[in-house]
C-alpha cells in the first residue's frame, strides 16, 4: 500500500465502531498506525488476528511506549515477530494505575486464552476443610467452591486426596460429626462411624454439648497451627487420667495424640520460620516448564501440585513465574508470603496487586539461604522429576499419534481427537457422548453429553449418531462465526472500573482497528452451509472459550459402516464433508478386542495387527468414550427412576406437590384419588384437580 492509498484516520475520540470498514493493514504497519493515536497512560492492549482471534494480551505503564516497541519491527524473539506479523488490529483499555492494568490483564488472559501468552492451563478450584457453625452441633466436612455457609475454612489443600487423608485422621482424633443436617436430625441410634470410634454421636446425645464444643475447639486449634500446644495439653490430660486410674479416658487421649502425630508425620516438611506461604518452584527443560506449588498453612504442609504452563520456548523463568503467579491468584486468596526460586519480573507490581486484593501486605521472596531455600530446593526437585515424567509420557504419546496419522493417512500428527458413542436401553434415556484426547491425554473439561430424547429416535443408532454429529458441528460453525463479537463483549464486561465513571460505569476498549470479517474457506462459500471455517489456519493450542468451537483433527465413531455413513451425512448437510477426517471403529467378530475393523470414506475396511501399539491406543479411546457414555446414561436413568409423575403435571410446584403427598402418601395414591378428594387438598382448586385427575386417567 502506498502513501496515497492510506486512509485518513480520525482522532482517538472519534474512532469508528465495529461495523466500520477495516483498514487493510497488517503486522508492523497496523501497529504503527495504531501507535499514532495511543495515550501515554497505563492500560491493557490486545492484539487481534485476521479472524478476530485474540493473539496476545499485555499491560503497560505507558500504552504508547509499549506498543511503540512492537512497532519498531526489530529486536524481537521469533515468537513475538510471528505474533506481530499476524496482528491486524489493536484494542486498548485505559486504566488509572499499572496495578489495575495487571489485574485486568490477568482476568482477560484467563478468559480469552491468547495463543502467545504464558497460560496456566489447570485452574480447578482447591478443596478446603470446613467446620460448619450454621448448626448448633458443628460438622467437619470437605468443601470446594463458594463459601456460602457460616463456618471456618482451612486450606487450600493441594488435592481432594490430601483433604480426605487429613479428614480421616481428624475424625479419629476429634470425633466430630461429618453427616448432613438432615441425616443428623433423623438419627435415632448411632451410625457406623460411632461404632468404629470416628464420631462422638452427638445426634443421640452420647456426648454432652459442652464436651462436644471442647472437641470442636481442639480441632480448630490443630487446623490453626496450635498443634504442639494441643498435643502437650492432651499429654498432660492423659497423665492425669492415668494417675486417677481412669485408664479408658487415658487410652482415648493417647489415641488422639497418636492420630495428631501421624498427621504431622505424613505432611513431611513442616516449617518453623513461617506459618503460611505458597512455594513456587519452576524447572525448565527442552522448551517446556513445570511449576511445582507447595501449600503451607498453620505451619503445616497441606500438599503440592504440579502445573505445566503453556508458553513459547523463548520465555524466561522470571517472565513465566510473573505471569503464572498473577493467573494463579486471579480467583484465589493469596497468603502473606510467596516464595519462588526465581524473582518474578514484575515482583513489586505483583505485590501491590495481591496486597490490594488481600487488603494486607503480601511479600514475594526468592530466598538464597536457610530453611526457606531448603524448602524451595525440595520443591524444585519435585518439579524436575514431574517434568521428566511428563516429557517421557509425551514422547510415547507423540509416537502413538504419529502412528495414528500414518494409519489413517493424516497429513500431520493429530492434536485433537474426538470420539463419539451412543448409549440407551431399547431407545429409552438415549444419550450421546463425546470425549476429547490429545498429546497430553484425555481433556476431560472438553467432554460433552448430548441428550437425544426418547421418542424421537426409537433406538435407531444411525439416526442418533447423525443427529449428534450434526448438532456438534453446527455449534462449531455457529460459535466460530460469533467468536470475534463474543471476544469484544467479554473484554468489555471484565474491564476495570475507573473512579470517574460512577457506580456502574465500565471503560469500553478503544477500538483502534475493527478486525476484518473472517476469510471465506478456500473450498468456497464462506457461510455456515458451505463450511465457512478456515481449516488451513494454525491449530488452536487451547480450545476457544466456548463449548464447541475447537476444530478436531480426527473424529472417531464407535460403530461400523452404518454409523460412519450417518455421520458423513450430517457433515455433508453442513458443508463439512471431506474437510474433517472421520473414521468408524467397529468391534470385531464376537465383539473381541483386538479384532476391530476400521471404516474410512473411500477406503476398504481394514484391521490392524493385534499387537499394534496404535490399536491399543485406539481401543483406549473407544473404551473411554464407552465408559463416559454408559456413566452418563446410568445417571440419567437413575434420575428418571426417582422422578415423581406429579412433576409432569402443569401447575404443581413444590408446595402443592408436598400437600398432595402428605394427603395421599404417594403419587400412586394421588392417581387413585377421586376428583372431590383432590379438590379438598389445600392449594388445589377445581381446575387443577381436574387436570391432575385427567393426567392419571388418560395415562391409564
H-state helical runs in 244-316: 247-266
Which segments of the chain have a pLDDT < 50? 1-24, 484-532, 535-545
Confidence (pLDDT) at 229:
75
Q: Which residues of 312-324 are buried (b: 16+ CB within 10 A; e: fewer)?
A: beebebbbbbbbb
Neighbours of 542 (CB within 10 A): 13
Q: What domains lie within the chain, and their CATH numbers?
A: 3-112 (3.40.1440.10), 277-390 (3.30.420.10), 414-476+524-639 (3.30.420.340), 645-699 (1.10.150.20)
Confidence (pLDDT) at 149:
85
- Tens-digit pLDDT profile for residues 618-639: 988 988 988 888 887 677 666 6
> C-alpha angle with apex 218: 217 to 221, nearest 5 degrees?
85
Confidence (pLDDT) at 262:
66
Name which of 477, 476, 456, 478 is nearest 467 in CA terms: 456
Is the pTM here over 0.85, yes or no? Answer: no
Q: Which residues contact 462 (CB under 8 A, 6 or more apart)?
A: 562, 563, 565, 566
DSSP state of 233: H
Confidence (pLDDT) at 232:
78
Confidence (pLDDT) at 538:
41
Three-state DSSP class for residue 409: coil
Confidence (pLDDT) at 50:
81
In Å, how far are 395, 447, 542 from 310, measured between CA atoms?
17, 21, 9
- Tens-digit pLDDT profile for residues 560-607: 888 899 999 999 999 888 888 999 998 865 555 667 889 999 889 998
Confidence (pLDDT) at 571:
92
Neighbours of 665 (CB within 10 A): 10
**Set of cell numbers at residue 528:** 455456515
Confidence (pLDDT) at 588:
67
CA distance 646 to 699: 13
Evaluate the omega torsion of the peptide bond into residue 156 and state whether it is cis, within 30 degrees of 0.
yes
Phi, psi of 570 (to 5 degrees): -65, -45
Phi, psi of 378 (to 5 degrees): -65, -40
Name which of 657, 654, 662 is nearest 646 in CA terms: 657
Confidence (pLDDT) at 282:
94
Amino acid at each position: 500500500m502506498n502513501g496515497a492509498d492510506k486512509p485518513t484516520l480520525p482522532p482517538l475520540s472519534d474512532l469508528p465502531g465495529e461495523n466500520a470498514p477495516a483498514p487493510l493493514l497488517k503486522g508492523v504497519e497496523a501497529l504503527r498506525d495504531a501507535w499514532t493515536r495511543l495515550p501515554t497512560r497505563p492500560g491493557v492492549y490486545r492484539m487481534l488476528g485476521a479472524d478476530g482471534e485474540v493473539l496476545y494480551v499485555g499491560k503497560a505503564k505507558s500504552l504508547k511506549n509499549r506498543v511503540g516497541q512492537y512497532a519498531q519491527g526489530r529486536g524481537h524473539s521469533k515468537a513475538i515477530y510471528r505474533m506481530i506479523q499476524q496482528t491486524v488490529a489493536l484494542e486498548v483499555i485505559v486504566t488509572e494505575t499499572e496495578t489495575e492494568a495487571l489485574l485486568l490483564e490477568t482476568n482477560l488472559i484467563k478468559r480469552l486464552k491468547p495463543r502467545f501468552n504464558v497460560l496456566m492451563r489447570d485452574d480447578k478450584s482447591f478443596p478446603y476443610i470446613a467446620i460448619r457453625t450454621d448448626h448448633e452441633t458443628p460438622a467437619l466436612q470437605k468443601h470446594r467452591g463458594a463459601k456460602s455457609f457460616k463456618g471456618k475454612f482451612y486450606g487450600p489443600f493441594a488435592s481432594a486426596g490430601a483433604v480426605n487423608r487429613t479428614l480421616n485422621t481428624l475424625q479419629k482424633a476429634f470425633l466430630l460429626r461429618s453427616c448432613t443436617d438432615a441425616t443428623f436430625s433423623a438419627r435415632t441410634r448411632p451410625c457406623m462411624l460411632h461404632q468404629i470410634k470416628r464420631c462422638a454421636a452427638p445426634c443421640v446425645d452420647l456426648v454432652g454439648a459442652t464436651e462436644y464444643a471442647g472437641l470442636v475447639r481442639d480441632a480448630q486449634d490443630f487446623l490453626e497451627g496450635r498443634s504442639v500446644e494441643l498435643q502437650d495439653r492432651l499429654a498432660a490430660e492423659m497423665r492425669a487420667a492415668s494417675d486417677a486410674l481412669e485408664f479408658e479416658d487415658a487410652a482415648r487421649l493417647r489415641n488422639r495424640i497418636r492420630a495428631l502425630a501421624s498427621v504431622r508425620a505424613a505432611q513431611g516438611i513442616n516449617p518453623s520460620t513461617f506459618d503460611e506461604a505458597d512455594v513456587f518452584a519452576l524447572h525448565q527443560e527442552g522448551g517446556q516448564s513445570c511449576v511445582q506449588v507447595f501449600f503451607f498453612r498453620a505451619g503445616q504442609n497441606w500438599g503440592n501440585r504440579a502445573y505445566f504452563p503453556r508458553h513459547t520456548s523463548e520465555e524466561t523463568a522470571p517472565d513465566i513465574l510473573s505471569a503464572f503467579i498473577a493467573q494463579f491468584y486471579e480467583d484465589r486468596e493469596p497468603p502473606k508470603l510467596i516464595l519462588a526460586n526465581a524473582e518474578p519480573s514484575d515482583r513489586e507490581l505483583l505485590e501491590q496487586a495481591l496486597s490490594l486484593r488481600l487488603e494486607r501486605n503480601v511479600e514475594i521472596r526468592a530466598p538464597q539461604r536457610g530453611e526457606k531455600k531448603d524448602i524451595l530446593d525440595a520443591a524444585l526437585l519435585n518439579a524436575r522429576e514431574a517434568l521428566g515424567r511428563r516429557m517421557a509420557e509425551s514422547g510415547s504419546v507423540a509416537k502413538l499419534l504419529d502412528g495414528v496419522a500414518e494409519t489413517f493417512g493424516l497429513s500431520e500428527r493429530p492434536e485433537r481427537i474426538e470420539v463419539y458413542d451412543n448409549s440407551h436401553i431399547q431407545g429409552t434415556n438415549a444419550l450421546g457422548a463425546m470425549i476429547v484426547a490429545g498429546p497430553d491425554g484425555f481433556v476431560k473439561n472438553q467432554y460433552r453429553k448430548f441428550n437425544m430424547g426418547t421418542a424421537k429416535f426409537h433406538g435407531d443408532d444411525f439416526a442418533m449418531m447423525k443427529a449428534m454429529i450434526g448438532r456438534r458441528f453446527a455449534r462449531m460453525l455457529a460459535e466460530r462465526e460469533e467468536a470475534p463479537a463474543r471476544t469484544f463483549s467479554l473484554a468489555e464486561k471484565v474491564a476495570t472500573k475507573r473512579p470517574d465513571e460512577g457506580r456502574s460505569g465500565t471503560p469500553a476498549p478503544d477500538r483502534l482497528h475493527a478486525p476484518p470479517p473472517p476469510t471465506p474457506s478456500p473450498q468456497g462459500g464462506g457461510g455456515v452451509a458451505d463450511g465457512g471455517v478456515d481449516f488451513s489456519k494454525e491449530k488452536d493450542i487451547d480450545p476457544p472459550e466456548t463449548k464447541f468451537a475447537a476444530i478436531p483433527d480426527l473424529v472417531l465413531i464407535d460403530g461400523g459402516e452404518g454409523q460412519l455413513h450417518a455421520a458423513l451425512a450430517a457433515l455433508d448437510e453442513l458443508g463439512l464433508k471431506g474437510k474433517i477426517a472421520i473414521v468408524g471403529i467397529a468391534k470385531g467378530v464376537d465383539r473381541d478386542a483386538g479384532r476391530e475393523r476400521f471404516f474410512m470414506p473411500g477406503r476398504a475396511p481394514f484391521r490392524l495387527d493385534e499387537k499394534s501399539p496404535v490399536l491399543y491406543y485406539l481401543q483406549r479411546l473407544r473404551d473411554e468414550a464407552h465408559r463416559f457414555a454408559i456413566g452418563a446414561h446410568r445417571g440419567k436413568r437413575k434420575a428418571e427412576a426417582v422422578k415423581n409423575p406429579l412433576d409432569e403435571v402443569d401447575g404443581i410446584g413444590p408446595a402443592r406437590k408436598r400437600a398432595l403427598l402428605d394427603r395421599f402418601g404417594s403419587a400412586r395414591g394421588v392417581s387413585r384419588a377421586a376428583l372431590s378428594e383432590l379438590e379438598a387438598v389445600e392449594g388445589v382448586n377445581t381446575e387443577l384437580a381436574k387436570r391432575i385427575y385427567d393426567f392419571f386417567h388418560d395415562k391409564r
